[in-house]
């Protein structure tokens, strides 16, 4: 992944840890949940009210650039139950979702996929609940 410092809101961490606890023994999705747990362990946790406005949080709408294809992708990062990739709702437990959570605008994210290394850059935060004062999302 990236070498930037990850930042997570306390509210997001609380919700994600609840999900991780519920799925800890589910073998079929264990890899994706282990990856998310690893990422959460690498970052700094801040109060939601203190979240920098350029950091990707749950329910953020973001613009990503695929650096290999030079294409853009607009998605909202959501909890697994709300995911629908066709509608632009990306699960935080998907490889891309886990990869962008906690990173900031301008960060480049790299991760290993079967075909090689995938590279994305966070171009813009179109909406972040914390900066909009929507702490309940």
> In this predicted structure, what is the pLDDT of residue 1?
45
65: pLDDT strictly greater than 70? yes
Q: Return the percentage of the chain with pLDDT > 70, whole number.
A: 88
Number of other CB atoms surrounding residue 65 within 10 Å: 17
Evaluate if residue 2 carries a pLDDT over 60. no
What sign does the dihedral 80-14-132-107 (CA atoms) show?
A: negative
Residues 17-40: what's their mean pLDDT? 71
Find the helix packing angle between 30-40 and 10-23, rounded to 10°.
150
| Residue 52 backbone phi and psi in degrees, to 5 | -60, 140
Nearest alpha carbon to residue 126 among 101, 96, 105: 105
CATH number for 7-130 (one of 3.30.160.270, 3.10.50.30, 3.30.70.380, 2.40.50.140): it is 3.10.50.30
Instruction: Say if residues 135 and 12 touch (Cβ distance below 8 Å).
Output: no
Which secondary structure element, helix H or strand E, spans residue 126, and what is its range? strand 116-127
> For the residues 132-136, what does the mean pLDDT come to?
83
């Amino acid at each position: 992944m990236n070498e930037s410092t990850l930042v997570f809101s306390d509210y997001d961490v609380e919700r994600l840890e609840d999900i991780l606890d519920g799925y800890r023994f589910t073998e079929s999705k264990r890899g994706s949940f282990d990856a998310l747990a690893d990422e959460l362990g690498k970052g700094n946790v801040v109060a939601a009210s203190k979240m920098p406005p350029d950091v990707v949080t749950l329910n953020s709408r973001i613009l990503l650039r695929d650096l290999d294809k030079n294409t853009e992708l607009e998605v909202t990062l959501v909890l697994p139950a709300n995911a629908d990739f066709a509608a632009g709702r990306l699960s935080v437990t998907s490889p891309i979702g886990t990869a962008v959570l906690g990173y900031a605008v301008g960060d480049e994210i790299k991760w290993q996929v079967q075909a090689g290394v995938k590279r994305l850059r966070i171009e813009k935060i179109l909406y972040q609940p914390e900066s909009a004062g929507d702490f309940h999302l």
